[in-house]
Chain A
Amino acid sequence: MFNFTLILPELFVLCMVCVVMLVDLFVEQRQQVLTYALTQLTLVGAAILTLCIYCIPTTANFSGLTVHDHLGSVLKLAIYITSFFVFLYSRNYFRQQNMGKGEPYLLGLCSILGMMVLVSAHNFLTLYLGLELMSLPIYALTALQRDKEQALEAAIKYFILGALASALLLYGLSMIYGASGSLDITQVANVIGANSTQHPLIFVFGLVFVVAGLAFKIGLVPFHMWLPDVYTGAPNAATLFLAVAPKVAVIGMTIRLLVECLPGLQVQWQELLIVISVLSMILGNFVAIVQTNIKRMLAYSTIAHGGYILLGFIAGTAAGYSAALFYTLAYAIMSLGAFGIITLLSKQGFDVETIEDLQGLNDRNPWLAFMMMLLLFSMAGLPPTIGFFAKLSLIEALVSTHFVWLACIAMLVAVIGVYYYLRVIKVMYFDKPLDNKPFSLAWDAKMAITINGLAILYFGIFPGALITLCQQLFWSGTMLN
């Protein structure tokens, strides 16, 4: 019932948050080396603890408040690894752009703790608390550059719309609670499953609000308007942070809510998701074409990728869910690299904003340009990169459930999407650089970006292991009910 071993990673991160805070306050450090090292150590430690308890079979813990299962563990590991790279890429940025001393690391760790609670939630209460603990530090992180007007505007927009999203989600959850009489995810699923032919209208009413809240958090049309503004306005390092790990966590939440809690209402949410997904793919890809700001372009491409991820949920089979999860992990690696390079290229008093800022990157630093090219190829879905297999498995799942027309739309907009990714590559390779100074990186950043880029290639050529892992998570034996 109360098994503290299973929440060891969360407890460890919580303790380390306090340690990092105190160390940052009381120890004089030049350039916050100690804070940074402790933060990265926390992530490594949490990853080791999660791996240690990985093999323990699926159990509901704390009277069903949280659950320990492989899905949660895999999502947590993805969150640690991507966040490790995020802190590595943004370390210089934090130092140069006057974003406080240890604050970014502290806020980041708090947010990571929230994500961990969120992806292992098995009760509406823990789900909500995890979601808020994830979101609140990110609002602060966005506003950390106190003298930049745009960042503040982005922060307040993110805050208002994020709060609206949580409120919508909560309203839907309260309706589902009222109709089922329970906050526990398994019990709600059982109540809905018990009378599978006739659902009270109140379930559907609640479901609409839940889906709206989720769409807000992932950033899907018609609830996407905050996303481009926040991505553009936020400091590059904050954009990098909020574009990667929270995405994984929110998709984890979507799996918990739609797949584990409300599978009985699949017919209803499928219809909603089809509309949202088609609109997101079309709007995201078309509007990205006309953007001149690279962060805004990537923001619209995020909306489109969110639409692709939903396709897996629409397919509604174990293959579909695992394809959606695989796409999410692939997308996390890709956006980590792309926003990471943007952050690395920013210097004191100079943020990479427009696509022109990347002009002639090949002349200044060929290796970085090559890595960026790999990442953009992968986002466009060209072989032999991971993005290709991610799209392929989604389309496979769709076709096998007879959504051929949906697969066709996905293919068509993907082809349109290739245009704006290739335009960036053209700017990097064939345009003359604005300043000819070669651009060099610190050894750790260089190694990280190399691992990141080669991971795209490696998982593109040998995707088997990752795909099998995703598929195993959705085998009936590993789910709790």
Chain B
Amino acid sequence: MITLNSALIVTAILFSLSLIGLVLNRHNLIVLLMCVELMLLAVNTNFIIFSHFLNDLAGQVFVFFILAVAAAEAAIGLAILILIFRKQKTINVSELNTLKG
């Protein structure tokens, strides 16, 4: 039987991995988008775990909404990414540095 604690540790590791990915990644914008998605998935898993252990369906309903919003978010993110690629011919994060001060 999986305990609540060990399940929460898994999601915490997932969440931190994606956070580290966001901070450390200097090369590819797509990886940034993947990190954001992974983060939301970690949150989803968290909600499902709690919903299971609390015997409460509201958490699982929330997950469906987060999934739908994450899809919309990914669509907007990829659209902006394509615009950037069209303009600059690169999606390297370290070359996005015109704004400073």
Contact = CB atoms under 8 A, between A and B. Distances in A.
A and B bound?
Answer: yes
Interface of A: 124-125, 128-129, 132, 136, 139-140, 143, 146-147, 149-150, 152-157, 159-160, 163-164, 167, 170-171, 174-175, 177-178, 181-183, 228-229, 232-233, 291, 293, 296
Interface in B43-101: 43, 46-47, 49-50, 53-54, 56, 58-59, 61-62, 65-66, 69, 72-73, 76-77, 79-81, 83-84, 87-88, 96, 98-99, 101
A298 to B, nearest CB: 13
Contact of B36 (A128, A146, A160, A293): A160
B65 A128 contact: yes
Contact of B43 (A159, A171, A296): A171
Nearest to B45: A174
Given A150-B98, A293-B101, A160 B84 contact: no
A199 B8 CA distance: 19
A108 B29 CA distance: 27
B7 to A, nearest CB: 11
15 contacts: A124-B62, A125-B65, A140-B76, A146-B83, A146-B87, A147-B87, A150-B98, A152-B80, A159-B80, A160-B36, A164-B22, A167-B36, A170-B43, A171-B39, A177-B58
Interface residues on B, range: 35 or more
Interface of B: 8, 15, 19, 22, 29, 32-33, 36, 39-40, 42-43, 46-47, 49-50, 53-54, 56, 58-59, 61-62, 65-66, 69, 72-73, 76-77, 79-81, 83-84, 87-88, 96, 98-99, 101
A170 to B, nearest CB: 5
B80 A156 contact: yes
A164 B38 CA distance: 11
Contacts of A147: 87
Contact of B99 (A177, A232, A291): A232
Given A160-B32, A171-B46, A296-B101, A153 B76 contact: no
A174 B63 CA distance: 10
A171 B16 CA distance: 11
Contacts of A143: 79-80, 83
Given A155-B80, A174-B43, 7 more contacts: A124-B62, A128-B62, A136-B72, A167-B43, A182-B58, A183-B62, A232-B101
B81 A132 contact: no
A160 B84 CA distance: 14
